[in-house]
Amino acid sequence: MYDAIIILGGNPGVYEEDRFPWLRAEKHFLRRGIYDGVPMLAICLGCQLLAECTGGKVFKGTKGAEIGFKKWEWLEHSDEDATGDRLIALLKHKQLDEMIVLFHQDTFDLPYHVETKHGFEKVYLLAKTNLYNTFFKLGKNTYGFQGHPELKPEFLKVWCQAGWGDMCAKSSALVQETISHVDKHFDKISVAGDIILNMWVDMVFAERVPAVEKSHEFEHYVQHVLLPTARKSRRQSRQSMSLSLSEFRTKMNQKRTSEFGDSDSEIDQDVIEQNQRKIFEEMAFF
């Protein structure tokens, strides 16, 4: 088994094992990881898979698609595992919840606890939005994010503009609001995912994150270790993201040319948008 696991997003529903048989193997893998106490960072579909593998239930949300940025409602817990959690403290302190985009239709319920080889671990629902559950924790360093902290602004805007199946088509106003929010908070969104990932990695492997109770040390770590590292990661990732976006546009243009010949010829806009979505979904943005 691995030292840590990151589970990312995707199109399938957790309950669509007949259409996507590989889900069975992934669930088996995650259940073993949960039992062994392996730290996990689970995002979107990954969050829903983690929820089901703890004994929860994943289902189609009854309140429609949730698209955009929202302020989370934090739920109070008296247990030390929740009140002293360093990642929770970071999210609240830097208001990073408002920098994590939500892009989903399915949602989940959680069990009270899950069995591991060390005994029963409590499952904490930590936050929700006005529509659905959005953030939970189990064990020491395992977290489920319904939103996408890993999604960079450049990709997010292309994602919104290209469309993501029927969900975007039916929620065009929300998509436009999301793009406007990205433009307004571009820099903060740019580093939010790096901040979260770097802290989680430090918590799991480096064990150098000060306790929340040591407020001065914790603040020093955030300001002088975490933020500079996140900004450096952001600078290094800009080039690779630019190349990926360039590849996307080149591939789309090649697709148009191969199907329609001269790019100056008249092309049906609906066909272009269908191809754009198809090409986008083929690319690995997660």
Examine residue 74 and state whether it is found in any structural domain, yes or no: yes
The CATH number for 205's domain is 3.40.50.880
Examine residue 181 and state whether it is found in any structural domain, yes or no: yes
Three-state SS annotation for 111-129? CCEEEECCEEEEEEEEEEC
Mean pLDDT, the chain, rounded, equals: 82
Average pLDDT over residues 24-37: 96
Examine residue 249 and state whether it is found in any structural domain, yes or no: no
Examine residue 185 and state whether it is found in any structural domain, yes or no: yes
Position of tokens 């007949």?
18
Examine residue 258 and state whether it is found in any structural domain, yes or no: no
Put simply, whether the predicted model's pTM sits higher than 0.95 gets the answer: no
More confident residue, 156 or 96: 96
What are the phi and psi torsion angles at 6 (to 5°)? -115, 125
Residue 105 pLDDT more than 80? yes
In this prediction, residue 284 carries a pLDDT of: 38
Q: Which amino acid is at 56?
A: G
Distance between CA atoms of residues 180 and 173, nearest Å: 11
Distance between CA atoms of residues 49 and 14, nearest Å: 6
Instruction: Quote the number of domains for the chain.
Output: 1
> Which residue range is the domain that position 141 belongs to?
5-237
Q: What is the pLDDT of residues 222-261, one digit of tens each?
A: 888 888 888 777 666 655 555 555 565 666 666 656 655 5
Percent of the chain whose pLDDT exceeds 70: 75
Nearest Cα neighbor of 34 from 17, 46, 44, 22 is 46
Average pLDDT over residues 20-33: 96
Q: What is the pLDDT of residues 132-157, one digit of tens each?
A: 999 999 988 999 999 999 887 777 77
